[in-house]
Amino acid sequence: MRTRSLLLASSLLVACAGPIEPDSDGATDALDVAIIDDSAPADVAAMLDATESSVAQDAAVADSRDAAFADAGMADTGVADSGAGPSGVAPMGAVSGEIAARDGRNPVPGVAGGEVVFRVDARPSEHVQFFLRFTAPAGSVVMQVDRWNGSRPVELGRTDAGPGLRVLAVFDPSGPRTFWARVRSTTALAGATLEVLRTPFADGASCSSDCARLMQLPLPNDRSRDGYAMDSTVVYRYQFGRRDLLMFIRAAGQEMGRRGHAPVLIEDLSQWDGLTPGTDTGSLRHASHQRGKDVDISLYGVDRQTIWRSFCTIQRSSSGRECVAGTARDFDGALNALYFSRYFATNRVTVSFLDRELIALVVPAARMAVFAPSVLAQFTDGVHVQHWPNHDNHIHIRVSESAGGSAIEWDAYAPP
């Protein structure tokens, strides 16, 4: 696809918006969930008051949230114990038969009906990426990643979908840490390899160098602290983003976690190769999401949970799925404004997409909040928060691809 770079004022970006929807809608869309038909939300002032509720209320919500995650099928993503124990580095032989993985490609012995376990000891400054490549039938191969919690291995995540590739990534800034990549297959894995790639990484709300490097969003070590999670619909090979976008996701999540709020659910970024998710299967899930600049994120309801759901009565047209006017419900404008503000504060967001009915709740809440003028301006300028179909249940955030954040670059045939 031909690419062009444009140096445009923000107002011109709106005029150049093409008719192609950023996120296609179809029967297999994991975000196309049931309509919520409960009572209408409280007014904006009440929602703002809710963001400052007591720690006791947050603790009660956290308990119900954990139950909701379990009901939603999140067991396969795992949650590491928050306590590191005596050491983040496991004793040698902590897992029977473990193989010390070297950097680069490691041959995977034939494991038909069995398991091979690779061990990696990571420094706190290292993002560690696992690439498992194989030629066996797609559904027969599982890769799982575990983390040492000080006393035992705890599962962080697993993946079993897609042809010829499994990808998972880890990062633990708390200290040196042992991880294991477990490979299981019901058929022989002749010629299979597990590549271990270590990349320097650090958390933060700003990126100063190597910001465009494509990396996989690391599995959360503790979703209540990291502030994000993945549910059973996630496709891990579609969770690759620019370094700066990963930093912003983690920084925003950590801030919400410190305030006691629920972790958001992260869905698609880009494919592992920077292409639109679904390119590998010939069934595109979006019209954009190239080069790691976009991310889809769940929203906060007035119950303070972030499960995938529509926040209105929807109607469908040739353009996609949109809220019927006046039907927005159960959407926490203040809490979502607080979360979005963490991205706007980076001055790297070029645009975000949300249904107009939800925008009508977010903008007044942002006006009533104590945000810096530069952040508030992004809620109200009509550019950084725009209506687009199919965004009644999540927000789509895009970051600039330019070094300084002033230029906007996109594909000539993709939406803005």
List pLDDT tens digits, range 240-297.
999 999 999 999 999 999 999 999 999 999 999 999 999 999 999 998 999 999 999 9
Alpha helices in 169-322 (DSSP H): 223-226, 243-258
Q: Quick one: average pLDDT of 347-369?
A: 97
Per-residue pLDDT band for 36 (boundaries 50, 70, 90) equals very low
Would 362 be classed as within a structural domain?
yes
Which of 139, 166, 200 is the endpoint of a domain? 200
Q: Quick one: average pLDDT of 177-206?
A: 94
Is the pLDDT assigned to residue 349 strictly greater than 70?
yes
Would 394 be classed as within a structural domain?
yes
Is the pLDDT assigned to residue 149 strictly greater than 70?
yes
Domain that holds residue 45: 3-73+283-411
- CATH number of the domain residue 131 falls in: 2.60.120
Angle between helices 243-258 and 333-344 (to 10 degrees): 140
Domain match, 46 and 118 both: no
Query: What is the pTM for the complete model shown?
Result: 0.79
> What's the burial of 405, exposed, middle or buried (CB within 10 Å: 0-12/13-18/19+)?
middle
Alpha helices in 293-408 (DSSP H): 333-344, 356-368, 373-380
Which of 144, 171, 200 is the endpoint of a domain? 200
Query: What pLDDT does residue 113 have?
Result: 82
Which of 167, 200, 233 is the endpoint of a domain? 200
Contact by Cβ (8 Å): 192, 167 = no
Domain count, the chain: 2
Is the pLDDT assigned to residue 410 strictly greater than 60?
no
Domain match, 357 and 404 both: yes
